[in-house]
Amino acid sequence: MSKPKNWIKKTLVQSGSLRLAAHLAKPSAVMLMYHSVVENPQLTENSIGTSKSSAVFEAHIRMLVQRFTPVSLDQVVEFAGGGKELPPRSVAVTFDDGFLDNLEFALPILNRYSVPATFYIMVDAVETGTTPWYCRINFAFRTTRKRTWTDPEDSHVYKLENPQDRKSALTVAWGAGARKTGAVQAELVRQIEESLEVEPIPNRLMLSWDQVRALKKAGHIIGGHTLSHPNLAHVTEQEARAEIVGCKQRLEQELGAPVEHFSYPHPALNPQCTEQTVEITRQAGFKSAVLTTCGPVRRGDEPFRLKRIYAANDLDQWLWNLNLTFLGRSI
């Protein structure tokens, strides 16, 4: 009997029917994506439009425990892989990047409502304390008094006369940073700050290793988010491997425990990962990886391409987005 069964299974896998079945399965979990939680998002130097006020975040978490079932990332990954069933309307909370405000503002709220979360850490920011490159570039273009910017890569001159001009130049600079890693990327940021005559953001926004350990000790999951936050689909294979493997090794050294989950950074460019990126992440020993692509998690989903949704600021919109995603609709 095992032979025909195997044959059927093989045919289903090859024909993509199982993937189709996963697609048609009822959405059973949604993962929310946060970055930064601060007192006043308007005033923050790290703001790239993804910071939430702590009052808004608390309203989200209060609603989460009232209308949904908070679950951990481990539960979602196990479920997607065919393991234990999840309670109805399961929601997992995730944070990308490793901002200090995650500990200062988000952690007390999460703990007050007993909501588990996962924090995906960008390792170089912890090692050096330096604000992530995409925040620094954004801050430089937002605050410069210069009227033009010359792209150091091709000497093209961009006007900075109005917000639209600045946005166009920023997009180019972000794209350049996303294609680089480590010291080369740091040098590009330094050049941009110098040419725009803007001082670097002081080093006070990121978690330290002790603080990352404190998040773990409080019962939350720590995941990896590369070393220097490039777009992994737009760097060399060697660079991608160094970023993914290096991140896992450093986190495990500092935490003294396995780090099993990964989040692909998504600065500036599309796509955010390729087959090769996924393969390197799998080979590195991670068990799951999340995207910024919006959608629910269904049983049978590929564990290295798990979808999340952006947490909207407005509470009604936030609720609407969650409900729509549970219905399998795109937001």
Where on the chain is the footprint of Zn ion (CB under 5 A)? 96-97, 265
117 membership: H or E segment, kind and range: strand 117-121
Nearest residue (beta carbon) to Zn ion: 96
For Zn ion, the closer CB: 265 or 296: 265
Burial class (CB in 10 A: 0-12, 13-18, 19+), 216: middle
What is the β-pairing status of strands 306-310 and 29-34? parallel
For Zn ion, the closer CB: 246 or 265: 265
For Zn ion, the closer CB: 97 or 101: 97
For Zn ion, the closer CB: 34 or 57: 34
CB of 132 to Zn ion, least distance (A): 7
Closest of 91, 92, 177 to residue 133, by C-alpha? 177
- 43: number of Cβ within 10 Å: 9
For Zn ion, the closer CB: 86 or 176: 176
Q: What is the DSSP letter of 297?
A: B
Question: What are the φ and ψ backbone dihedral angles of 92, each rounded to 5 degrees?
Answer: -110, 140
Query: Are 17 and 3 contacting, i.e. CB atoms less than 8 angstroms apart?
Result: no
CB of 230 to Zn ion, least distance (A): 10
What is the maximal distance between C-alpha atoms in the chain? Answer: 75
Q: Euclidean distance between the first and final Cα of the chain, in Å?
A: 45
For Zn ion, the closer CB: 68 or 286: 286
Return the amino acid letter for 85. Answer: E
CB of 229 to Zn ion, least distance (A): 6
CB of 102 to Zn ion, least distance (A): 12
Handedness of CA 125, 131, 133, 135 (dihedral sign): positive
Closest of 127, 75, 117, 68 to residue 96, by C-alpha? 117
CB of 201 to Zn ion, least distance (A): 16
For Zn ion, the closer CB: 97 or 254: 97
CB of 225 to Zn ion, least distance (A): 6
CB of 25 to Zn ion, least distance (A): 29
